[in-house]
Amino acid sequence: MKKDIRSGLLAVFMLPLFLLSCKGKPDRGNILEYAVSPESGMRKEVEIDRHVYKFQYKPAAYMLKSEGLSGQELAEREKQLDSMVWFNISLSIKDFPSSPLRYGIKGIEEYNERLDYYLNRAAGDISLVYGKDTLRAYSYWFENNQNLSPEETIVVGFKLKDAKVPVKDLHLAFYDRVFQNGIVKTVIRPDPG
């Protein structure tokens, strides 16, 4: 009888571990889930003091799937994405409930200076090293969230010189002049396998 109880208890404790282990790696067939999963290697996070920088690589398949296009629109969009590499760079401050642009400011002028930098000048401080090439932003957009969330996002695209899709490591660097954290870098493998 004691052996049966022990076996039952062991099963009760082992079942959650078994179920967690069955989850395994994210499904590569679902690019929308796979690309944002930590296991994919396409999403990286760098923390410097309280500043958090999240880098999300968005391969063409991810963008095409998320846009939900079909037919001629899909074919045109595929052509637009040829030789392009896209990233989201999100900025936030740990335990700060507002936009990072509001963190530690003394007045509206300082907020406006920060906003101006991210809207108009930050693109010049973002680069991508691909093989022997150092690429500058080909396309740039700052998604100003109007203080609706504690995170701000930059969307940046680079045009590859000699490749339709990346096959080498992507070395992304951002020199954030607002928060003076030096050059924030990450390396992303386009297909970590």
Note the pLDDT tens digit of each residue in 85-124. 999 999 999 999 999 999 999 999 999 999 999 999 999 9
- Report whether 106 contacts 158 (CB < 8 A): no
Note the pLDDT tens digit of each residue in 124-158. 999 999 999 999 999 999 999 888 999 999 999 99
Number of CB atoms found within 10 A of residue 182's CB: 10
- Report whether 187 contacts 170 (CB < 8 A): yes
Q: What's the pTM?
A: 0.81
Note the pLDDT tens digit of each residue in 41-63. 889 999 999 999 999 999 998 88
Alpha carbons 158 and 172: distance in angstroms, whole number: 10
Q: What string of H, E and C letters represents the secondary structure of the chain?
A: CHHHHHHHHHHHHHHHHHHHHHHCCCCCCCHHHHHHCHHHCCEEEEEECCEEEEEEEECHHHHHHHHCCCHHHHHHHHHHHCCEEEEEEEEEECCCCCCHHHCCCCCHHHHHHHHHHHHHHHHHHEEEEECCEEEECCEEEEECCCCCCCEEEEEEEEECCCCCCCCCCEEEEEECCCCCCCEEEEEECCCCC
Note the pLDDT tens digit of each residue in 23-34. 455 555 778 888
Number of CB atoms found within 10 A of residue 178's CB: 19
